[in-house]
Amino acid sequence: MAKAQNLELQGGIYHVRMDVPKDVREAFGGRRVLSQTLKTGSRAEALLQRLPILHAWKLRIKAVRDGKLLGDGWQEDIVQTLEDLDAITQGQKRALVGETAPPLPYVDPAFKAKLMNSPRFKESIRMLVGDHLKDGIEGRIKIQDELNRGLKEMLQKLLGTDYKLTSEQGQELEVLVKDPASYKARSPITKVRLASFRTYRLEHHVALKTVNQQESKLLNLSEHLQTTNTKLDFDSVSAWLQGMKLSSKTKQQYLLAGSQFWQWAMQHEPQWRQTFKGHVNPFEKHTLPTLKGKAKLDAKRKAFTIEEVGTLHNAAKEQNLGTLSDLILLGAYTGARIEELCQLRKEHLITVDGVMMFDIVDSKTVAGIRQVPVHPKLTALVDRLAIASTDGYLVPTDSNNKYGIRSDALSKAFGRLKTTMGFDRTRVFHSIRATVITQLVRADIADRLIKELVGHETGTVTFDVYSDGSSPKQKLKAISKLPTLTNV
């Protein structure tokens, strides 16, 4: 129903979508679908907000069909052509006075052929040569200047003939021809290209959160290129990274976003391929500072002790943070990730071979999809949560952001709690998971069985591919060896 009205719900947020007719796709960068977020989860609001966007898209399609339009980024192409013409002129003038002229820049063969086949251009050349040849070198230099001016005027007229220019484009073109340097270079990472990149990645099932985060990073780079008036190359990317006060790990994520966009554009954007033909990926081979020795150890996330987990649980209880205190207990006796716990529903409480299990059906990794026994210390808590549930989830929370993540508010609440208790940024909710793994190791539980319980791959074909894993009773025996939290 939503798609029939040009709406699609993605992670709780409506997007307006429209199929691009085949005959005009080239003008839209080859895109098959136009999509734009409406930034609302209300269908009533989305139905209204989609109308002006659909209208604008339909007007553009009509304009393309009525006459050929200049594509996105046309200014860069024009400025580059004008600069090439100036370089040719300067080179020819230097050659006339005996200096070594630089190699001629590449000129689009189609453009060159169109000029040479123009009767008006040929007549202009004949008149120029006839008027100035008699003046020797000085005359020949004047010929080069006149040719430069004539070619620029011809370029302007050819564009006006071949394309349907808006009044604004016509005025901008006139200014550029007179003074190419007046144009402030735009970033090649345009909103149109980013929209195409977004559509491509969503169609290939990349998580919406990942798409949005990387798009934000690319917009940051685009703004840097425009602000600094620099081209996209290794040096500009390096300067961009140096200007951000972020960790090397975070900067690496920025480089990954840029590299994935570059690879996509090289494969799917003809204009990009032409512009960056022969260029290396500017997001590769950057050297970022790395932590070593003690500094690396100090920055690493650390496990809580059993006593500290018990203290955190009691503090949450004393501060009337009942849901958070329950969540800490669930984490302490399962080793599960916080979002895995928050996604557990009543139907995920199953009994296998007489053992009650948490059926974790969704996780960040394939190995994370697993069944974990309910620790004896959790039986009463799980029964209470199941009875009290009003929406089917064991852990109640009002948090459900646009990506469907239920743990967001509880994760922040835990962050505030642990900070007030003096723990630094190396201790997070995930540290409880590290606590569980540490205790299982100290209880002499087999490495393979620990990985099954916490959802890590064993790294061997024998166990990851061929084995169905340990039995429920083996898992229960192992997890029952976790020590009881103190003061709980």
pLDDT beyond 50 at 297: no
Give Cα separations from 98 to 91, 94, 129, 145 (angstroms): 11, 6, 20, 18
The model's pLDDT over 133-186, given as tens digits with 9 standing for 90+, comes to 556 678 777 777 877 787 788 788 877 776 777 777 788 888 888 887 777 666
Let me know: does 3 contact 17? Beta carbons within 8 Å.
yes
Let me know: does 54 contact 18? Beta carbons within 8 Å.
yes
The model's pLDDT over 65-76, given as tens digits with 9 standing for 90+, comes to 776 666 656 777
Instruction: Give mean pLDDT, residues 471-486.
Output: 92
Question: Where in the chain do CATH 1.10.150 domains reside?
Answer: 191-290
Please tell me the predicted confidence (pLDDT) of residue 248.
Answer: 87
Average pLDDT, the chain: 83
Gap between the Cα atoms of 87 and 134, Å rounded? 25
Across 65-74, 85-94, 338-347, which has the greatest mean pLDDT? 338-347
Confidence class of residue 296 from pLDDT cuts 50, 70 and 90?
very low
Please tell me the predicted confidence (pLDDT) of residue 402.
Answer: 67
Confidence class of residue 26 from pLDDT cuts 50, 70 and 90?
confident
Please tell me the predicted confidence (pLDDT) of residue 71.
Answer: 63
Gap between the Cα atoms of 184 and 220, Å rounded? 18
Please tell me the predicted confidence (pLDDT) of residue 284.
Answer: 94
- For domain 191-290, which architecture applies? Orthogonal Bundle (1.10)
CATH of domain 306-479: 1.10.443.10
Give Cα separations from 211 to 185, 196, 257 (angstroms): 26, 12, 9
The model's pLDDT over 438-453, given as tens digits with 9 standing for 90+, comes to 999 999 999 999 999 9
Instruction: Give mean pLDDT, residues 342-352.
Output: 95
Question: Where in the chain do CATH 1.10.443.10 domains reside?
Answer: 306-479
Please tell me the predicted confidence (pLDDT) of residue 128.
Answer: 54
Percent of the chain scored above 90 by pLDDT?
A: 40
The model's pLDDT over 188-226, given as tens digits with 9 standing for 90+, comes to 888 778 888 998 898 888 888 899 999 999 999 998 998
Residue 25 or residue 487, greater confidence:
25
Confidence class of residue 236 from pLDDT cuts 50, 70 and 90?
very high
